[in-house]
Chain A
Amino acid sequence: MKRFLLAAAGLLSLVGAVHAGTLDDVKTRGALNCGVSQGLPGFSTPNDKNDWSGFDVDFCRAIAAAIFNDPTKVKFTPLSAKDRFTALTSGAVDVLSRNTTWTMSRDTTLGFNFAGVTYYDGQGFLVRKSLGLKGSKELDGASICVQTGTSNELNVSDYFRANNMKYREVIAFGTLDETVKAYESGRCDVFTSDRSQLAAVRLKLTNPADHVVLPETISKEPLGPLVRHGDDQWFDLVKWTYFALLDAEELGVNQKNVDEMLSSPNPEVKRLLGTDGKYGEGVGLTPDWVVRIVKATGNYGEIYDRNLGPATPLGLERGLNNLWNKGGIQYGMPVR
């Protein structure tokens, strides 16, 4: 018994790592740990070799490029909606880039900081074409499938109540795949989620043409990356990676012309690309951090077009996600 206890004490003394800041941890580790969704076309999907691509994925690659000058130094952890917050809280991921809606409780009591809104979205309904529905006001008496642990789960019952409709039942499933499977097998009439997600899910169905997304948007779903409370430097880095992507687009800096832009006389471009001032040091990096980002992933517009834009299978218009000076509400704070 005693020997065992002594051995146990020895083991326990081995546990206990010294903790530095998240950025230092990432640097020592040599890779960024990024939480993404478990496979959502356009946002994050692995191929057969487990190489990830998508809008949310590219955001993490941008951070990795800023830190390591290598967009491949990211380890992606696929997370279901219900596991995502725990993974971030427990430190299993450094940043959660997983189409997560920015809500007050998540920002405050759950202990997270949202770095920005990378995608302005709203909740919609996916139904079978054969039902012949024209709008979501006709959904009275429907059975609804929803993924548990999402803001959608809360919105849908509020929407029905506000519109004096009654659902037959709301069935909540643990993962997106389960929910979609249930919808596809006919367990529910409606699958409700963020519209971008509906568009992506529709592509995963056996016959996408048999399904349609209803026109109404019933909620605001600002989706963005988040980090945990308690490390302001890391929060700044993630936040400014997002702003830098927007500023680059606004200033016309893209993957192709970034080298030429280094000699641009425009003072805004100079500050952004670090040829004037040392703004990158404010987030713990070198002044040319944005050059690395844009070289690796392109600016915000390029990331959008590559993964979600009209030329992709998803074919999502920019809409609200256009820059503020092009009719949207994406607004990058100035580097100054």
Chain B
Amino acid sequence: MSDARLSDPAPPRGRRWSWTDPKLRSSVIQITLALILVWLAWSFYANAEANLSRLGIASGFGFLDDRAGFAISQTLIPYNENMSYGRAFLVGLLNTLLVAFFGIILATILGFLVGVARLSKNVVIKALASAYVEITRNLPPLFQIMFWYLAVLAALPTPRQSWGIGLQPIFSGIASGLSAIGLGGLAAPFSGLAEGVGAPDVYINNRGLILPRPVFGEGSSGILIALAVAVVVSFIIARWAKKRREATGQQFPVFLTGLGLIIVLPFLAAAAVGFPVHLEVPQLRGFNFAGGVSVIPEFVALLIALSTYTAGFIAEIVRSGILAVSKGQSEAAHSLGLRGGPTLRLVVIPQAMRVIVPPLTSQYLNLTKNSSLGVAVGYPDLFAVFAGTTLNQTGQAIEIIAMTMAVYLVISIVTSLVMGWYNKRVALVER
């Protein structure tokens, strides 16, 4: 210490509070901070230790192998009450990811549409889009979730008075359409399907949306392989088309070709193995539906609320992103002879994306984090299943809350890494 002081001239007058040696100062501050942090961590640890042993609460992660004993209303992987808490954790995690995945897709589509609509020349559309943005952004997401669940979806009819929507008319319509244009051979499977499915197969009621479940018979793997092949071929075509465009300027309808491939190839494969797929149709049995797949209203309410709420923010991001592209860019594109559509697609949006992507990422993360609000309406996401039910049954608050927080943190970190990579890719190369 005395050395440090010697190296300094006497501190100037009037600056009584200055620590003139920055090195010394920084080490003092850091040591103090380290001491405080260590003290905090130690006292947390010691207190938790003391409290847990005083109360006789179990600790450790052994509970993950114990029998869960409770049912979960939506499971993407096989689960029943005889399985472990660890399995319940997985079920909850997948439910969180499911609602986040669909929520992000819906919110992005809706957000882009509304964002573009806000820039529309059409005053009616513009006003509607503005109203949408203001309303969705200024109401709490939990309020919106509860509104959709308690007020809207609960008002749907009971199972016995369900609204039925038939697949039958659709299939027979396709069959007659095909035979009308002289493709009678292809019509056969459709009329077969139409007969097979019988009267309404899709029902909407206050228990959710009940759909027929496809049951895959023998040989179904061929269809999957065909689908995979179609996807790979589409990718190859897209790359080739891009190369050709860059070399010659000629366009190729990549999207349509790909879509056609992805539909036609699996269909041909299915025809080749003789349509091994049939639909398990929900039926009203007793007081409830049996069979089929049901999309529970908790999921629907959460999905609608999250995607409409987030779409409001995305719309604003998209709008400011597009506005950030200078007008000269689209004027230049027009003068090159590009029309409105290609201008937007090839010139404006790629540049706007640079502005849009970073805030968009944080909106996606917000949506994922907000999905934990499903607990308020009984949606069995990670939070409800794990930090709710499991926490209550086992009482192991520290382990469970730490695990739950860790999952969200990992999701956050992975998303920011992926988006960081994307950001780097689209970033402007400045010289």
Is A–B contact present in the complex under a CB 8 A cutoff? yes
Which residues of B have CB within 8 Å of A161? 81-82
What residue of chain B has the Cβ atom nearest to residue A85's Cβ? B395
Which listed segment binds A: B186-194, B255-263, B384-392? B384-392
- Give residues of chain A (140-157) contacting chain B, Cβ–Cβ below 8 Å: 140-143, 148-149, 153-154, 156-157
What residue of chain B has the Cβ atom nearest to residue A187's Cβ? B206
In contact, A153 and B55 (Cβ under 8 angstroms) = no
**Interface residue from B54, B71, B375 paired with A170 (Cβ < 8 Å):** B71
- Give residues of chain B (372-394) contacting chain A, Cβ–Cβ below 8 Å: 375-378, 380, 384, 388-389, 391-394
Which residues of A have CB within 8 Å of B376? 174, 178
What residue of chain A has the Cβ atom nearest to residue B150's Cβ? A181
Q: Is A230 in the interface zone, CB < 8 Å from B?
A: yes
> What CA separation (Å) do A101 and B398 show in the bound complex?
24
Q: Is A168 in the interface zone, CB < 8 Å from B?
A: yes
> What CA separation (Å) do A230 and B388 show in the bound complex?
26
- Give residues of chain A (107-161) contacting chain B, Cβ–Cβ below 8 Å: 108-111, 131, 138, 140-143, 148-149, 153-154, 156-158, 161
**Interface residue from A110, A141, A158, A170 paired with B286 (Cβ < 8 Å):** A141
**Interface residue from A110, A131, A156, A181 paired with B395 (Cβ < 8 Å):** A110
In contact, A187 and B71 (Cβ under 8 angstroms) = no
In contact, B56 and A229 (Cβ under 8 angstroms) = yes
Q: Is B345 in the interface zone, CB < 8 Å from A?
A: no
In contact, B397 and A142 (Cβ under 8 angstroms) = no
> What CA separation (Å) do A142 and B58 show in the bound complex?
36
Q: Is B132 in the interface zone, CB < 8 Å from A?
A: no
Which residues of B have CB within 8 Å of A149? 388-389, 392-393
Which residues of A have CB within 8 Å of B36? 5
In contact, A109 and B56 (Cβ under 8 angstroms) = yes
Which listed segment binds A: B289-297, B309-317, B328-336, B348-356? B289-297
In contact, A154 and B69 (Cβ under 8 angstroms) = yes
A107 to chain B, nearest CB (A): 10
In contact, B395 and A171 (Cβ under 8 angstroms) = no
> What CA separation (Å) do A141 and B397 show in the bound complex?
34
B210 to chain A, nearest CB (A): 10
Per the CB 8 Å criterion, the residue count for chain A at the interface is 45
Q: Is B285 in the interface zone, CB < 8 Å from A?
A: yes
A123 to chain B, nearest CB (A): 14
> What CA separation (Å) do A199 and B341 show in the bound complex?
65
In contact, B57 and A156 (Cβ under 8 angstroms) = no
Q: Is B143 in the interface zone, CB < 8 Å from A?
A: no
A287 to chain B, nearest CB (A): 31
> What CA separation (Å) do A105 and B393 show in the bound complex?
9
In contact, B54 and A230 (Cβ under 8 angstroms) = yes
In contact, A89 and B154 (Cβ under 8 angstroms) = no
In contact, B206 and A141 (Cβ under 8 angstroms) = no
Which residues of B have CB within 8 Å of A167? 71
Q: Is B288 in the interface zone, CB < 8 Å from A?
A: yes
**Interface residue from B69, B82, B296, B388 paired with A82 (Cβ < 8 Å):** B388
- Give 1 or 0 for each of A168-206: 1 = CB within 8 Å of chain B CB: 111111100010011001110100000000000000000
Which residues of A have CB within 8 Å of B397? 86
> What CA separation (Å) do A167 and B70 show in the bound complex?
12
Q: Is A293 in the interface zone, CB < 8 Å from B?
A: no
In contact, A157 and B288 (Cβ under 8 angstroms) = no
In contact, B158 and A186 (Cβ under 8 angstroms) = yes
In contact, A111 and B289 (Cβ under 8 angstroms) = no
Q: Is A239 in the interface zone, CB < 8 Å from B?
A: no
Q: Is B73 in the interface zone, CB < 8 Å from A?
A: yes
The number of residue pairs between A and B whose CB atoms lie closer than 8 Å in the complex comes to 124
Which residues of B have CB within 8 Å of A32? none
Q: Is B32 in the interface zone, CB < 8 Å from A?
A: yes
Whether A168 touches B289, Cβ cut-off 8 Å, given contacts A173-B378, A185-B206, is: yes
Which residues of A have CB within 8 Å of B81? 154, 157-158, 161
Interface centre among B150, B388, B395 (most CB of A within 10 A): B395
B125 to chain A, nearest CB (A): 36
In contact, A229 and B55 (Cβ under 8 angstroms) = yes
Q: Is B29 in the interface zone, CB < 8 Å from A?
A: yes
Which residues of B have CB within 8 Å of A110? 57, 395
Whether A171 touches B298, Cβ cut-off 8 Å, given contacts A111-B395, A154-B393, is: yes
In contact, A109 and B389 (Cβ under 8 angstroms) = no
Which residues of B have CB within 8 Å of A246? none
A308 to chain B, nearest CB (A): 26
In contact, A172 and B55 (Cβ under 8 angstroms) = no
B142 to chain A, nearest CB (A): 12
Which residues of A have CB within 8 Å of B389? 148-149, 153, 172
Which residues of B have CB within 8 Å of A189? 287-288
In contact, A178 and B378 (Cβ under 8 angstroms) = yes
Which residues of B have CB within 8 Å of A20? none
Q: Is B87 in the interface zone, CB < 8 Å from A?
A: no
What residue of chain A has the Cβ atom nearest to residue B63's Cβ? A109
- Give residues of chain B (128-174) contacting chain A, Cβ–Cβ below 8 Å: 150, 154, 158
In contact, B378 and A142 (Cβ under 8 angstroms) = no
B286 to chain A, nearest CB (A): 6
Q: Is A2 in the interface zone, CB < 8 Å from B?
A: yes
B44 to chain A, nearest CB (A): 13
Which residues of B have CB within 8 Å of A82? 388, 391-392
A-B contact pairs, 27 of them (CB 8 A): A2-B32, A5-B32, A81-B392, A85-B395, A86-B397, A89-B395, A105-B395, A109-B394, A110-B395, A111-B55, A111-B395, A148-B384, A149-B393, A154-B69, A154-B81, A157-B70, A157-B71, A158-B81, A161-B82, A167-B71, A171-B296, A172-B73, A172-B389, A187-B154, A187-B207, A229-B54, A230-B55
Task: Please give the residue numbers on chain B whose beta carbons come within 8 Å of chain A beta carbons, in ascending order.
Answer: 29, 32, 36, 54-58, 69-74, 80-82, 150, 154, 158, 206-207, 285-290, 294, 296-298, 375-378, 380, 384, 388-389, 391-395, 397
New contact pairs (16) apart from A89-B395, A153-B389, A185-B154, CB-CB < 8 Å: A2-B32, A89-B55, A131-B287, A141-B286, A141-B288, A141-B290, A154-B70, A157-B71, A161-B81, A169-B294, A171-B378, A186-B158, A187-B206, A187-B207, A187-B297, A230-B55
Task: Please give the residue numbers on chain A whose beta carbons come within 8 Å of chain B beta carbons, in ascending order.
Answer: 1-2, 5, 81-82, 85-86, 89, 105, 108-111, 131, 138, 140-143, 148-149, 153-154, 156-158, 161, 167-174, 178, 181-182, 185-187, 189, 228-230
